[in-house]
A and B are shown apart, each in its own frame.
Chain A
C-alpha cells in the first residue's frame, strides 16, 4: 500500500485563487518533500521539510507538517495557469533512505 496519499486526487480552480493539497502517510518519517510534475515526465523538487519542522515557505508555496497526525499540506497562493501540474508528496520512512511517493493531486488552474 502507498506510504503517502494525496487529497484531493484532482483540483480545479480559477487563476488567482489559492490551492491546497494534503498528504497523509502511515509511518514515522525523517523528511517530507513535495514535487511537481508536468506532462507526465520528470519531476521538479519544490520543497523539503524535516520532521522537526512545522512550516516552511518558498515563494508562493507554503508547506506545513503535523507529525502527530502524519499529514502535510501544500498551499499555493495566487495560483497561475502555469501551476497546472500534478503534485506529489514523498516521504522517507525512518530507518530507510528512499522516498516513497504518493499518488498525486492533479491541479488545473483556469485562466
Chain B
C-alpha cells in the first residue's frame, strides 16, 4: 500500500482482556518495528522483524506481550490480560532495509479501563 496502515486506530478494553493490534507495512519493506509511546513520552522500542523472524524481542515489557509477522507482510501485536499500564499509543513502522528511514503508521491508541 501507499503507507503503513494500523488498525484499529483506537481501542478501549477492560482490564484483563486480550487485544490484538494489526500493522500492514508498505509492500516490499522487509523491516518492521513496533514501538509504544505513553502520554507525553518518547518512543519505547518493543520488537523488530526482519522478514518473518524477530531477531530482537528485547523490548517486550512482559510475557503478556507477543508479536508475529506472516508472509513478510502483516504483523500483529497481541497483549494478553491487559493492565492499565499498557495504555499507550502503539506505533508500527516499516523500512526498506534496516539502515533506512522509517515510515510510521498513525498508531493504535489503546486505553485499558
State which of A61-69, A73-81, A94-102 sits at the interface with chain B: A94-102
Interface check A59, CB cutoff 8 A: no
Q: Across the interface, do A102 and B42 meet the contact criterion of CB distance under 8 Å? A: yes
A48/B101 contact (C-beta < 8 A), A42-B106, A101-B35, A101-B43 known: yes
> Main SS of the interface on chain A?
strand
**Total B residues in contact with A, Cβ cutoff 8 Å:** 27
Residues of B near A48 (CB, < 8 A) are: 100-101
Alpha-carbon separation in the docked complex, A98 to B43 (Å) = 12
Interface string of B73-113 (1 = CB under 8 A from A): 00000000000000001010100001111111111000000
Q: Which A residues are within 8 Å of any B CB, using their own CB?
A: 2, 30-31, 33, 35, 40-45, 48, 88, 90, 92, 96-104
12 contacts across the A-B interface (CB closer than 8 A): A35-B102, A35-B104, A42-B107, A43-B102, A45-B101, A45-B103, A88-B42, A92-B98, A97-B50, A97-B55, A101-B43, A102-B42
Interface set of B (CB-CB < 8 Å, partner A): 4, 31, 33, 35, 37, 39, 41-43, 45, 48, 50, 55-56, 89, 91, 93, 98-107
